[in-house]
Structure 1
Amino acid sequence: MPGSPPTRRVVDTLEHLASAEAPCTIAQIADAVGVARPTMSAILAELDAAGWVERDTSRAYRLGAGVAALGGGDGAGTAMTPDIISILDDLVAATSCGVTVSRLVDDRMTVVAKVHSPIRPVPGLGLGQTLTVSYPAVAAVMAWRSPADQLRWQGDRPDNGDRARAVLDSVRELGYAAYRPMSSDASLVESLADLLSAVGPMLIDPAVRRTATRQLAGLTSRAYLSDDLAADEALPVSYLAAPIFHHGEAGYELQLGVLRSAVHPRERAEFGLALTEAATRISALLDAA
């Protein structure tokens, strides 16, 4: 049986927006999917009416709450509500960093919301994309999970045990997790982030972007302890992450894309405070929904 070209165009449109690192214009989406711009305008109008896409103030499109809601009725769709996006916008304005909300189920992390900073977009997974995660990623959520979940998360490497427990203790003390690259790679993180931001999500070959993003992810996989963050000197910071609670369970992680090779103590504290306050506000909205 032949496929349905109109349905295929809708699927292609949603897949393109899910993989995009920033909202896309009608022209950009039409060119990527390979349809006429009037046709794409009609497709987006229908998707917008259904809540599957939304248009920002620059008239560019991103995935909407309806797509996230397809994940189930346990709060997955709530992370894309306008009230929560407004909190993310406030966090971006306060820190000049891009932010992401991810939902964690078992060992799978799915991006359910993403707001870029005007200064630098957040590289990484697009909306709706899923990644299998393990130690030390998602430590902000794992600090509040069961001991059995934490053991599975840290894996069976002998050197993971003590360090993983110390990381989780630090998260509970601070209210957030902080990540850095290896010391020798600190400046490379900033350079890669600048490269991905400068060329924009639509102006680089997808294979090259995926390679650069994987490299960046590999350079941001070392977790700080609270004693490390208390140092007086500037430190490289890739990401900060705080748990978002829904009826007492840490099911989401709010991530702040700092991506800088030197962040001074006062600014680190300001980032942490802004992040945890935003996570608390989102948790309250989830519980009230």
Structure 2
Amino acid sequence: MAGSPPTRRVVETIQLLSETDEPRTIAQIADTLGITRPTMSAILAELDSAGWVVRDSSRGYRVGAAVAGLSRSGPGESSMVTPDVIAVMEELAAETGCGTTLSRFTADRMTVVGKVHSQTRPVPGLGLGQSLTVGYPAGAAVMAMRGEDEQAAWAGAHGADPDRRHGVLDVVRALGYAAYRPASSDASLVESLADLLGAVGPMLIDPAVRRSATRQLSELSSRAYRLDDLNTRSPLPLSYLAAPVAQRGSTDYELQLGVLRSAVPAAERTDLGRALVEAASRVSALW
């Protein structure tokens, strides 16, 4: 078997950076491995996006936190994402045509521990192992399972009044998932940004540009629906759906479906939600 030269280049890059204490520039890595500099730039940009490498102020690269995280085996870390869990996520992506992620939420951070692209559209945003500071309404699926005091602190830190908070959490209690959208005027922009990030992929070689576009996409998809909003037969913009996943009696995880469309018909919204809730239940059973 000849293997995969592109994969081998990635492996060799990680091995090289793991074996040195000093940051290496693109030129140094490319010359050492016998890879062209443009190809090396594309490889490092994708690894940077996923948190596998980081670039310092001198433009040198070193191994990132996501690689170190692969060796941790404590509960709730990436070791929980077994092949069986990935298989459930792959089935969900195939059924819905949407990419899916599995994320862990702490008090104010979200960390991606599993990620599966669909055949039609990749999942833009954080890479595997990366984390992001988040707040209301992100994490609503998890917070719906928490106590009143914790819910109030979660929403209150971002100025959400109790009525709004209860409205968002009631969606999770009634439907089994939270639903997110962009501002109505930005609905088509979400699709454009998602298509851009998905299509360009590793060729968007400036990590700062990719991070900026990802942050913009996150901001455009951070508004949560309430039941009254969803109770319509009209198509609605839909960014993400998120369902809680239980693990050993606690709920710290969400299974997320990246719909990223400006108009989703009511019947399809129902089908997407049903598929997501069923998949989240299967992951919970595996844990």
TM-score surpassing 0.5?
Answer: yes
Question: What secondary structure, in the 3-state scheme, does the structure 2 residue paired with 1:128 have?
Answer: coil
Structure 2: how far apart are the matches of 1:187 and 1:197?
15
For residues 192-232 of structure 1, what are the alpha-carbon distances to aligned partners after superposition, in whole Å with 9 as ceiling and x for unaligned? 11111121234442111111111111100110112221211
* CA-CA distance at 1:156 after TM superposition: 4.1
Question: What secondary structure, in the 3-state scheme, does the structure 2 residue paired with 1:274 have?
Answer: helix
For residues 72-91 of structure 1, what are the alpha-carbon distances to aligned partners after superposition, in whole Å with 9 as ceiling and x for unaligned? 52232344210000000000
Question: What secondary structure, in the 3-state scheme, does the structure 1 residue paired with 2:202 have?
Answer: coil
Identity, in percent, stands at 57
* CA-CA distance at 1:133 after TM superposition: 1.3
1:218 aligns with: 219
Is contact 1:144–1:250 with CA below 8 Å preserved after alignment? yes
2:18 aligns with: 10
* 1:36 alignment partner, one of 19, 33, 37: 33
Question: What secondary structure, in the 3-state scheme, does the structure 2 residue paired with 1:87 have?
Answer: helix
User: Which of 252-261 and 125-134 deviates more?
Assistant: 125-134
Is contact 2:78–2:114 with CA below 8 Å preserved after alignment? no
For residues 98-122 of structure 1, what are the alpha-carbon distances to aligned partners after superposition, in whole Å with 9 as ceiling and x for unaligned? 0100011222211101111121111
2:74 aligns with: 73
Question: What secondary structure, in the 3-state scheme, does the structure 1 residue paired with 2:121 have?
Answer: coil
Name the Cα RMSD after superposition. Answer: 2.8
2:145 aligns with: 144
Structure 1: how far apart are the matches of 2:96 and 2:129?
24
1:11–1:147: structure 2 CA closer, same or farther, 3 Å change rule? farther
Question: What secondary structure, in the 3-state scheme, does the structure 1 residue paired with 2:173 have?
Answer: helix
Is contact 1:65–1:80 with CA below 8 Å preserved after alignment? no
1:200 aligns with: 201
2:57 aligns with: none
Structure 1: how far apart are the matches of 2:189 and 2:254?
25
The AA in structure 2 aligned to 1:124 is: G
* CA-CA distance at 1:246 after TM superposition: 0.9
Structure 1: how far apart are the matches of 2:29 and 2:175?
45
1:21 aligns with: none
2:127 aligns with: 126
User: Which of 78-87 and 209-218 deviates more?
Assistant: 78-87
The AA in structure 1 aligned to 2:263 is: A
Structure 1: how far apart are the matches of 2:106 and 2:203?
30
Question: What secondary structure, in the 3-state scheme, does the structure 2 residue paired with 1:200 have?
Answer: helix
1:157–1:78: structure 2 CA closer, same or farther, 3 Å change rule? closer
Structure 2: how far apart are the matches of 1:264 and 1:112?
30
The AA in structure 2 aligned to 1:253 is: E
Is contact 2:94–2:119 with CA below 8 Å preserved after alignment? no
User: Which of 90-99 and 115-124 deviates more?
Assistant: 115-124
Is contact 1:69–1:76 with CA below 8 Å preserved after alignment? no
* CA-CA distance at 1:145 after TM superposition: 1.1
Correspondence 1:194-273 to 2 at 5 A: 194-273=195-274
Structure 1: how far apart are the matches of 2:34 and 2:285?
41
The AA in structure 1 aligned to 2:280 is: A
Is contact 2:66–2:130 with CA below 8 Å preserved after alignment? no
Structure 2: how far apart are the matches of 1:185 and 1:154?
24
Is contact 2:99–2:257 with CA below 8 Å preserved after alignment? yes
Structure 2: how far apart are the matches of 1:270 and 1:153?
30
Structure 2: how far apart are the matches of 1:128 and 1:166?
31
2:155 aligns with: 154
> Is 1:179 matched up with 2:180?
yes
Question: What secondary structure, in the 3-state scheme, does the structure 2 residue paired with 1:208 have?
Answer: helix
Question: What secondary structure, in the 3-state scheme, does the structure 2 residue paired with 1:217 have?
Answer: helix
Structure 1: how far apart are the matches of 2:183 and 2:200?
25
Is contact 1:88–1:99 with CA below 8 Å preserved after alignment? yes
Structure 2: how far apart are the matches of 1:65 and 1:6?
9
Structure 2: how far apart are the matches of 1:177 and 1:244?
13
* CA-CA distance at 1:161 after TM superposition: 2.4
